[in-house]
Structure 1
Amino acid sequence: MDLENILIDSKYEYYEHALDSMIEGVIMVNSKAEVIFINKAARQILQIDTIDYVGKKVVDVVPNTRLQNVVESKKPEIDQIQSIGKTKIITSRIPLLDDQGNLKGAIAVFRDVTEIQRMAEEVTDLRRIRLMLEKIIESTDDAISVADKDGRVVMVNREYTKLTGFNEEEVIGKPATIDIAEGESVHMMVAKEKKPILGHRLKVGPMKKDVIVDVTPLFVDDKFVGSVGVIHDVSKILSLSRELEEANRMLRRLKAKYTFDDIIGNGRAMQIAITQAKKVAPTRATVLLRGESGTGKELFAHAIHNASDRRNNPFVSVNCAALPEGILESELFGYEEGAFTGARKGGRIGLLEEADGGTLFLDEIGKMELTVQSKFLRFLQEMEITKLGSSKTKRLDVRIISATNIDLEEMVKAGKFIPDLYYRINVVPIYIPPLRERVEDIEPLVKYIIRKLNQEYGRAINGISSDALKVIKSLPWPGNVRELENFIARAMINMDISEREIKLSSLPPYSGTYKGTLKHEGLKKSLAAYEKSLIEEALKANKGNRKETAKSLGISLRTLFYKMEEYQLK
């Protein structure tokens, strides 16, 4: 071999190595569209295992190639998308011409863009998701801020700028402390603790607006990536709270709805209670209604008022356990303007004053705070009130009916209830028996409930079968009439629209642990265990959300807190 041929071979080998080192695929053909060279990247992309491709027509090696078209047309095709099986490539095909414009062949240079396209689609999806997220947080009435794992602000909405006074440019990329006027950044606290922080009070912006902040950590694949905060304007909350108070106040001032004719009970125990209530109704004596939850204490309070000479005067009802701590005193006695932070302009009359000439029904009086008990005792002794923030007294004529489902005597012993107040409200105690002590009343109660629910649900149930009624009579009903009504409601919902009678098969599963007749000495323990299990199940079903749990159980949030504390539930 002469030197020239050696040099040509060496040069060809050099070019071959150079082309094989490229990440792009390269295919070269001659003027007859026959393969001259395919580099390593092209062979991998095209999955060509054989080396016997030189001299073959390119369409026989790469079936859907267009290199032969470029050879025929002598026109380049730049950045074309092509599919090879599941692989996507972007390719440019260029004709090779000599100085006189004669065709020497063509070359295709291409790259696998399958992964790049997937990533581009993911980026597009992420952009779409981000845009959707931005639209969502922009549409909410709450101020929202989002911070990264280091506590730097990455996103805020329009309500945030309204509330804090800071625009996006001023806060994005800055530490979450930038908008704090007084207090500590909750985003920073969550970044350290990796736990949600709710109800944190602080002040934001140049106007030092009072806000309540809830911040929740964000985790991706169990890795902390940031936090999202919802900022509530306290002034709006107070305004809504005042509106709610007004609505509740209007509801409380409604006339008593029920009379003794509405009380269903022919059994001896219930008749004793009704007789006592009818005897005391015409007097102004203070009444204490005692009985378990759901026995109908409020029903008795309405009936007593309507059977008295006060029937045309106000009947005001308040649940001592439903009002937040510290609110009951101002609700009962009223307040003057400026008496405390958030006090309404012009002040407000209390529930006692609203009930002047009529009746005030205090439900769950055992939950009344000791400080309020003391002031309420003074009212019962003097029949005079003094508003919060005032020194003036006002004499009232109010009849008090109280109700409780807890042992007040034990509370007195424990120092949780003032003895003198206990004696003042316990002038005429009336015990309302639980449902298990008046089994004979279950049948008329069931029939009444069916008629009531027929109206509510638009059904036409005529009655209940004897075997279904027998089962209902055998159950303990710790929730009493309220629980019985819920049970019948579930049975009716289970029934086909064409059915006219509640049958044994219609009854829902009973979640209690009742077996046989409960013995008197074990009654309290059995009921406590049952109540505890109901609360545990409700907490689990509502994923620990106490507000929803209280709602599903049909009790106030405050009562739920007391029960959780009593049963040591977390």
Structure 2
Amino acid sequence: MELSQLYRSVLDSIIEGVIIVDEGARILYINKTAVRLLNLSGDFIGKHVTKVVPNTRLHIVVRTGIPEIDEVQHVGKNIIVTSRIPLKDKEENIVGAVAVFRDITSVKKLAEEITNLHEIEARLKAIIDSTYDAISVADEYGNVILVNKAYTELTGFKPEEVIGKPATVDIAEGESIHLMIAKTRKPIYNARLKVGPMKKEVIVNAEPLFVRGKFSGSVAVVHDVSKILDLTRELEEMRRMMRQVKAQYTFEDIIGKSEKILMAKEQARKVAKTPVTVLLRGESGTGKELFAHAIHNESNRKNGPFISVNCAAIPENILEIELFGYSGGAFLGARKEGKKGLLEEADGGTLFLDEIGKMPLSLQAKILRFIERKEFLPVGSTTVKKVDVRIIAATNMNLEELVKKEKFLSDLYFRLNVFPIFLPSLREIKEDIPVLVKHLSKKIARQFGRKVDDVSSVAVKYLKSYDWPGNVRELENVIGRAIINMNINETILEKRHFPTLFLEKTSENFKYEGSLKSLVEDFERKVIENVLKENKGDRTKTARSLGISIRTLYYKIEKYGLG
């Protein structure tokens, strides 16, 4: 089959490769594009096509007469897509075949790049959506092109309400930072604005975006100032809940002659003179903080600071800052000069970590490092600090059980449990109740500006018949209420002065003793105690169950000696 020169010129000028074979699958023609794509050289006209293109199927199409359309074929490092069509004469006899193909290597790479870009875009959007900071992105003209979930929560605007619109759409008061950057191409920091329908006050930090040196828009991070102010207020409240005091109690202030109390005092005296970490164990209200004071005052650190921290009363992020301090600029709202943590302030003295069992795991690891190395890293700092601080920890929880449940670090448990001191509950040392009652009644009477000479034997017997779930702290509160119930001219505490200690079954014949106020308080104490037990000591759940704030719950726990 002859091809005219015109046909050859046309076929040589197209971007597809073309191979034509005769009825014997011998090559009649290959255009220039095919030569280049197949990297051919030498004389190939008249040769069988399989000798020139090993993985061809033209010879099969010649034999079967069945066309093959858009088949993918690998030629060296290139990928081509080929259509093979049989050639027939007027009588439908097969006289040859033609293959037309194109290199799709670059197209495939482009498709892969586009797919990768879509995946990267999806990942970046997921990352941006997961951050707590409100983020908005604008194009080079100052039109919003992206916002995250935190932005929606802060401003109240959904993405569809702002995307594609000028960046002024969300501003209640102030000038658009995105539009300012579109004009100046410079970053803007700490701009104060009000955004959204609620006119929330925010601080905005924004940076221009450049792609290959060309300005392409800006990204802004928006911080809710009201949250920062709330955090500051909460921090101040937590500071008030922590006590940085001089240890005021000694072993002489620990009243009791029972064997268990005397044993605990003897152990505490022995360990006081050493630098060993001490773990005070016992139920709430058994006097763990009293023992911590006494140990400090008996030690060679008695002239140093004594700092007490309740690990359960303070949120994790605030507790970390208060314990370890922070470097300047560690977070938004931080002092430029930074702040000392309580560990540093306790240098040369004692840090009492009350309710250590409630400390979050992340902070347990940092406390463990401090106990092991006597060094710590302030929040946001890269400089390690070393201090000389003795740790006294206390807990009313079963640390062994917490270790099994992986809620307390085993290494920290072993470091703290070097010298445990177990403090008995009041129901275990009821023989100490008479002396405790007389001591506490006189002490509390002085605080109230009253005079108590004695406590009747009937009253003491009544107090001994109660199991005291709140231990000595509850006993103190009950005595305080009894003194308030005394008439001004009375000096002897009688049974009638004490509130009802047992919530007995109500009946028409039951006679309540005490004032209405004291009866109501007793009922409130019992309810709180029961709900705390139901929630396994979880105070947040308890406050929620009772419908009161966590601060109110802490106040009432302290008031009723429920620890």
TM-score of the pair, normalised by structure 1: 0.53
Structure 1 residues 164-563: aligned runs within 5 Å: 182-184=154-156, 205-206=173-174, 207-208=192-193, 233-234=226-227, 236-241=229-234, 243-244=236-237, 251-252=243-244, 254-511=245-502, 531-532=529-530, 544-554=548-558
| Residues 525-549 of structure 1 deviation map (CA, whole Å, 9 limit, x = unaligned) | xx9999325789x979975444323
Counterpart secondary structure, 1:343: coil
Return the offset for 1:233. 4.1
Q: 1:549 is aligned with what amino acid?
A: L
| Residues 113-146 of structure 1 deviation map (CA, whole Å, 9 limit, x = unaligned) | xxxxxxxxxxxxxxxxxxxxxxxxxxxxxxxxxx
Q: Which runs of 5+ in 1 are unaligned?
A: 1-179, 186-201, 214-230, 515-526, 561-570
Q: Could you tell me which residue of structure 1 aligns to residue 22 of structure 2?
A: none
C-alpha contact (below 8 Å) 1:542/1:548 kept by paired residues: no
| Residues 26-69 of structure 1 deviation map (CA, whole Å, 9 limit, x = unaligned) | xxxxxxxxxxxxxxxxxxxxxxxxxxxxxxxxxxxxxxxxxxxx
Structure 1 residues 77-96: aligned runs within 5 Å: none
Q: 1:371 is aligned with what amino acid?
A: S
Counterpart secondary structure, 2:468: coil
Residues 242 and 500 of structure 1, relative CA distance in 2, 3 Å threshold: same
Q: 1:298 is aligned with what amino acid?
A: E
Q: 1:476 is aligned with what amino acid?
A: D
Q: Which runs of 5+ in 2 are unaligned?
A: 1-151, 158-169, 175-191, 199-223, 506-524, 535-541
| Residues 230-287 of structure 1 deviation map (CA, whole Å, 9 limit, x = unaligned) | x9944544554565566667x41x2111111111111000000000000000000110
Residues 248 and 532 of structure 1, relative CA distance in 2, 3 Å threshold: closer
Return the offset for 1:208. 3.3
Q: 2:529 is aligned with what amino acid?
A: E
Q: Distance in 1 between matches of 2:359 and 2:316?
A: 9
Counterpart secondary structure, 1:326: helix
Q: Distance in 1 between matches of 2:241 and 2:371?
A: 25
Structure 1 residues 131-146: aligned runs within 5 Å: none
| Residues 138-157 of structure 1 deviation map (CA, whole Å, 9 limit, x = unaligned) | xxxxxxxxxxxxxxxxxxxx
Q: 2:553 is aligned with what amino acid?
A: T
C-alpha contact (below 8 Å) 1:513/1:530 kept by paired residues: no
Q: Distance in 1 between matches of 2:544 and 2:312?
A: 23
TM-score of the pair, normalised by structure 2: 0.54
Counterpart secondary structure, 2:397: coil
Return the offset for 1:343. 2.3
Q: Distance in 2 between matches of 1:554 and 1:452?
A: 18
Residues 409 and 181 of structure 1, relative CA distance in 2, 3 Å threshold: closer
C-alpha contact (below 8 Å) 1:468/1:503 kept by paired residues: yes
Residues 204 and 380 of structure 1, relative CA distance in 2, 3 Å threshold: farther
Aligned length: 332
Identity %: 49
Residues 235 and 420 of structure 1, relative CA distance in 2, 3 Å threshold: closer
Q: 2:468 is aligned with what amino acid?
A: W
Residues 334 and 460 of structure 1, relative CA distance in 2, 3 Å threshold: same
Residues 359 and 203 of structure 1, relative CA distance in 2, 3 Å threshold: farther
Q: Distance in 2 between matches of 1:505 and 1:555?
A: 21
| Residues 486-514 of structure 1 deviation map (CA, whole Å, 9 limit, x = unaligned) | 11112122222222211122221114579
Q: Distance in 2 between matches of 1:445 and 1:408?
A: 30
C-alpha contact (below 8 Å) 1:210/1:233 kept by paired residues: no
Q: Distance in 2 between matches of 1:476 and 1:528?
A: 13
Q: Distance in 1 between matches of 2:417 and 2:226?
A: 44
Could you say what the CA RMSD is over the residues aligned between the two structures, in angstroms?
3.6
C-alpha contact (below 8 Å) 2:311/2:355 kept by paired residues: yes
